[in-house]
Amino acid sequence: MNHYSKEKWLLYKQCVLSSQESKEMEDHLLECDPCLEIFLSLVDDAEIQIASEFISPKFTDTIMKKINTNSKVRSKNLFTYYVAAALVTLILMSSGFFEKLVDTVPYASQTAVIQENLKPENFIMNFSERVVNKTSSFIDNFEVCDKEELK
C-alpha cells in the first residue's frame, strides 16, 4: 500500500489537487491508519472551531448512544444465529444425516468418475480426425505414374 506524504495531505487540505486524486486519497484514508494519523495531525484549532459551529453539542452523545444500541442488537442477533446453528446441527446429527453423507460421498464420487468415462466423443475432434485419416489413406493409395504412361 502506498502512503501519501505530509506535503501531499497539505495539498489535499488546500483543495489544489484534481478531483480524481482527491477521491483516491479519501478512499485511502478509509483503509490506512498511518495516513489518517498524518491527516488528523494537520487539523488545527481554527478548523476545529469552524467545525464546532456546524456540529451540534449533542452530536457525540447521540452517536455514542446509537453505537451502544447497535452493538447490543448485534450481539443479541449473533447469539440467536449461534443458537439456531447449534439446533440445526443437533437435529442433523440425531437424524444420522452426517453418517449418511459420509457413506454417500465415496459412492457419488465413483459415479462421477464412471459418468465422466461415458461422455460422448467430441464431434469436432472426431470430424477432424476422420478428415486426417481419409486424407492419409488417399495419399497412401495414390500411385505415382511415369510421364510416358500419361501419354
**Distance, C-alpha 122 to centroid of its chain:** 34
The reply to whether 123 and 52 lie within a common domain is no
Tens of pLDDT, residue by residue over 17-76, are: 899 999 999 999 889 999 989 988 888 888 888 888 888 888 888 888 887 776 666 777
CA atoms within 13 A on the CB side of 23: 3
Of 28, 20, 27, the closest CA to residue 4 belongs to 28
pLDDT band at 87 (very low <50, low <70, confident <90, very high): very high
Residue 9 CB neighbours (<10 A): 19
The reply to whether 115 and 50 lie within a common domain is no
User: CA 127 to CA 150: how far, in whole Å?
Assistant: 35
pLDDT on residue 61 = 86
The reply to whether 91 and 124 lie within a common domain is no
Q: Highest mean pLDDT: which of 83-92, 104-113, 118-127?
A: 83-92
Considering only the C-alpha atoms of the chain, give the largest distance between any 2 of them, rounded to a whole number of Å: 114
Structural domain count, the chain:
2
pLDDT band at 151 (very low <50, low <70, confident <90, very high): low
Say what the pTM is.
0.39
The boundaries of the domain holding residue 115 are 108-140
SS3 sequence of 39-99: HHHCCCHHHHHHHHHHCCCCHHHHHHHHHHHHHHHHHHHHHHHHHHHHHHHHHHHHHCHHH
User: CA 39 to CA 23: how far, in whole Å?
Assistant: 15
The reply to whether 86 and 40 lie within a common domain is yes
